Chains A and B, each alone.
Chain A
Amino acid sequence: MQITISENGILHIGENKMFYPILTTMSQWLIPLFLLFVFLHAYWKKVKVYDAFIEGAGEGFWMALKILPYVVGIYVAISLFRESGALIALGKIFAPFLGLLGVPEEILPLALVRPLSGPAALGLTLEILERFGPDSFIGRLATTLDGSTDTTFYIIAVYFASVGVKRPRYSIPVGLIADTAGLLAAIFICHRVFG
């Protein structure tokens, strides 16, 4: 089977545009197959599956409780920052710089929120899709941006908190560098492919 990336950036496997259906099917099958495999393998190895499940599952609740203060703190800070209009104001400050790179102003709040909150970023992406349509340049750039990085600060805060690490050392600068690189790469590739 031939796998190529065509000029307009679409991944092709074999027949034209087969990727989407294959993808959907694949993601539908993977988790059930993985679970089936784990259980069959466990039976083969004579593991008491229910006892083992309960033993591991018991940790889940406490893990969630441990991260609760951090999640609530970040949620309060982000929604205050966003809904007060501070986010848009900050976006306006950076807008001229991004204008030089040929980036629409509306992308900025998304780029700023993406490292902090996944749901907030998704909300902004949905707004952009609604206003400009998914096949507009800004719609494609927004979805590329949203899909290409993760919630850096949220993950760093929550993951370190879950084990009681107080000093994240250089994690935050590294995350910032990676996010900036991802943003620039998204802008570059979207101009090249969808320009």
Chain B
Amino acid sequence: MNWIFGFLIISGILFAVFNGKIGEVTSIIINATSDGVLRTFNLIGILTLWLGVAKIAEKSGLLKTFTRILEPLVRPLFPDIPRGHPALGAILMNFSANLFGFGSAATPFGLKAMQELQKINPYKDTASASMCTFLAINTSSITLIPTTIIAIRAEAGSSDPAEVIGTILFATGFSTLAAVVADYYFRKRYSAYR
């Protein structure tokens, strides 16, 4: 991450020099900071709402029931998480929100899942194997209903906005599969070295 961050900033400034855009750099940076702050502050409302709702579902036992029913599906991916641990509930909620194209609900449950995973992480500054697996699947994005994409296609005047659902499903399925396989390989390699 340090490498990527440095590369983006340095090459960005160098290219601005070459392209004679050096005068715009300051305004680009300032606009970007307020975009970032706006994005985060927009997230506050959504986070607040869904974490509140999640607490209700947790207290009523709904989250536990939901986890118990779906646990077998993801159990083999997360051997380190104790049976019935709340981390699994949050992970499952995150996957479900992603599957149905509700990105807004996915983030709160994803961050919640990380909190729960951190509680059972023996080395607090280092990613646990379960965290890596969770993020591998999460970032490769398993989406059944790509709501945003269909919306922008419809808006651009497509004769069939939903025609890419099949191709998206194929590509996302393949990338998730690759993520799971790669994660499994690295996990085995790392645990051998530990």
Binding site for B on A (CB under 8 A): 5, 8-11, 17, 19-20, 23-24, 26-27, 30-31, 35, 37-39, 41-42, 44-45, 47, 49, 52-61, 63-65, 67-68, 71-81, 83-86, 89-90, 115-116, 119, 122, 125-126, 129-130, 133-135, 139-140, 143-153, 155-157, 159-160, 162-175, 177-182, 184-186, 189-190, 193-194
Contact count band on B = 35 or more
**Cβ 8 A contact of B39, one of A56, A75, A175:** A75
Inter-chain CA distance A19–B43, complex, in Å, is 31
Residue B92, interface by CB 8 Å: no
Q: In the docked arrangement, what's the CA distance between A56 and B154, Å?
A: 37
Q: Determine whether B70 belongs to the interface, using a CB cutoff of 8 Å to chain A.
A: no
B153 touches A129 (CB 8 A): yes
Question: Is B82 close to A, CB under 8 A?
Answer: no
Chain A interface, DSSP helix/strand/loop, else mixed: helix
What residues on A are CB-neighbors of B81 within 8 Å? Answer: none
Q: How far does the alpha carbon of A146 sit from the alpha carbon of B32 in the complex, in Å?
A: 21
Nearest-neighbour CB distance to chain A for B119, whole angstroms, equals 9
CA gap between A11 and B135 in the complex, in Å: 28
B126 touches A9 (CB 8 A): no
Return chain B residues, CB-CB under 8 Å to A61. Answer: 44, 47-48
The answer to whether A153 touches B125, judged by C-beta atoms less than 8 angstroms apart, is: no
A selection of 11 A-B contacts at a CB cut-off of 8 Å is A42-B59, A68-B36, A130-B156, A143-B149, A143-B168, A144-B168, A148-B175, A159-B114, A160-B127, A165-B125, A170-B186
Residues in chain B near residue A9, CB distance under 8 A = 163-167
With both chains docked as a complex, state the minimum distance between the C-beta of A131 and any C-beta of chain B, in angstroms.
10
Q: Which residue of A lies closest to B98 (CB)?
A: A150
- Among B13-67, those with CB < 8 Å from A are 13-16, 18-19, 21, 24-25, 28-29, 31-33, 35-37, 39-41, 43-62
Docked-complex contact A75 and B32, CB < 8 angstroms: yes
- Bound Cα distance A114, B119 (Å): 31
Query: Is there contact, CB below 8 Å, between A86 and B108?
Result: no
Task: Quote the shortest CB–CB distance from A191 to chain B (angstroms).
Answer: 10
Residues in B whose Cβ lies below 8 Å from that of A57: 48-49, 51-52, 55
C-alpha spacing A98/B60, complex, angstroms? 53
Q: Nearest B residue to A141 by beta-carbon distance?
A: B167
